[in-house]
Amino acid sequence: MKILIAGGAGYIGSVVIPKVLDRGYQVDVVDLLWFGNQLPKEVNIKQTDIFDLHEKDLEGYDQVIFLAGLSNDPMAEFSPAKNFISNASSTAYLAYIAKRAGVKRFIYAGSCSVYGYTVNELYDETKPASSNYPYGISKLQGEQAVIQMQDENFSVIAFRQGTVSGYSPRMRLDLIVNTMFKTALATGEIIINNPSIWRPILSIQDAANAYVRAIEAAPAISGVFNIASGNYTVGEVADYVKEAVEKKLKKKVKLNIKNIQDFRNYKVSVEKAMNMLSFKPAHTVESILDDLIDNLDKFKDFDNPNYYNIQVFRKLN
């Protein structure tokens, strides 16, 4: 099987791709390399924009995975116009040329942030998705664009991923668990803006397994799927981080709890992905922290701007 991954050199792609290669599939990547390249040598990388691809570039691929675009709220708010172009239009364009070129499946890296601010209710994929902020709106636009292209010859699997965390060779320290872990170590303090809001957390290892399940799902399967390892309150995540850093790294950590209103609050059900894709989350915030501790030597240079998407993006624009 031959797979093209757009945005494959990013945080998620750098963990997904070794797993996909391990299963014997051929992987090519299209990526602007904003954060460099830490992919295995056998991956053929084309440093180009999705918008510069043409239908003929997609010929011969069985599946295409979209992992590109602007991948958090600060980037989207820094440049809302580029956010909408990138997250809504580049997704639609890539799926459009993929379908025309005869690709059989398109897998989309969407986000649970499409749920915006919900009441304290477990959300499955049938619940209303709506957001008032550029990132959430654009991720929903991207999802809707690709989902409506599905038919009997073109399967579309659109993930709504929780906040991903854990170690990747292309590291990010701007994602909830990773950020708290870094600040606990760097400053001895975790600032909690609002301890009571809910977030689905997705271990990067569970995320990579979800992509493998999607690649290997029966051809008739299409749809939107929530993907998370579990739902946690932000206060609870901070407790796990404090405990792991104090017990395993012997550093005292203070919690600094504020009560700032947050515009996102949601918990999701992953039952559909479990039933239809056989996705079985195997990780927790505690095992994400073990992963971070085991790999700490590889990202101890906490000030490296590459670990913070907004810092790199500001320089590019």
Ligand X SMILES: NC(=O)c1ccc[n+]([C@@H]2O[C@H](COP(=O)([O-])OP(=O)(O)OC[C@H]3O[C@@H](n4cnc5c(N)ncnc54)[C@H](O)[C@@H]3O)[C@@H](O)[C@H]2O)c1
Name the amino acid, one letter, at 99: K
What is the closest distance, in whole angstroms, from the C-beta atom of residue 254 to ligand X in the complex?
26
Q: How many CB atoms are located within 10 Å of the residue 56 CB? A: 10
30 part of the interface to ligand X, by CB under 6 A? yes
What is the closest distance, in whole angstroms, from the C-beta atom of residue 112 to ligand X in the complex?
7
**Between 154 and 307, whose beta carbon lies closer to ligand X?**
307
Query: With contact defined as beta carbons under 8 Å apart, do 304 and 312 qualify?
Result: no
User: Which position among 17, 43, 69, 292 is part of the footprint of ligand X (CB under 6 A)?
Assistant: 69
- The length of the chain, given as a count of residues: 317
How far, in Å, CA of 247 to CA of 241, rounded?
10
Q: For ligand X, how many residues bind (rule: CB under 6 A)?
A: 30
User: Which position among 63, 71, 226, 265 is part of the footprint of ligand X (CB under 6 A)?
Assistant: 71
User: Which position among 5, 20, 27, 35 is part of the footprint of ligand X (CB under 6 A)?
Assistant: 35
Tokens linked to 191: 């600032």
Query: With contact defined as beta carbons under 8 Å apart, do 20 and 12 qualify?
Result: no
- Stretch of 3-11, 186-194, 214-222, 252-260 lying at the interface with ligand X (CB under 6 A): 3-11
How far, in Å, CA of 285 to CA of 65, rounded?
26
31 part of the interface to ligand X, by CB under 6 A? yes
C-alpha distance from residue 6 to each of 31, 68, 98, 152, 239 (Å)? 6, 6, 12, 23, 36
203 part of the interface to ligand X, by CB under 6 A? no
**Between 50 and 253, whose beta carbon lies closer to ligand X?**
50
How far, in Å, CA of 162 to CA of 206, rounded?
11
* Interaxial angle between packed helices 91-100 and 134-147, expressed in degrees from 0 to 180 and rounded to the nearest 10: 10
Where do we find the tokens 């320290």?
A: 173
Binding track over 134-173 against ligand X, x by CB under 6 A: ---------------------------x-xx-----x-x-
Q: Which of residues 205-244 bind ligand X (CB under 6 A)?
A: none
User: Which position among 9, 64, 190, 273 is part of the footprint of ligand X (CB under 6 A)?
Assistant: 9
Residues forming the site for ligand X (CB under 6 A)? 6-7, 9-13, 30-35, 49-50, 67-69, 71, 86, 90, 109, 111, 161, 163-164, 170, 172, 175, 309
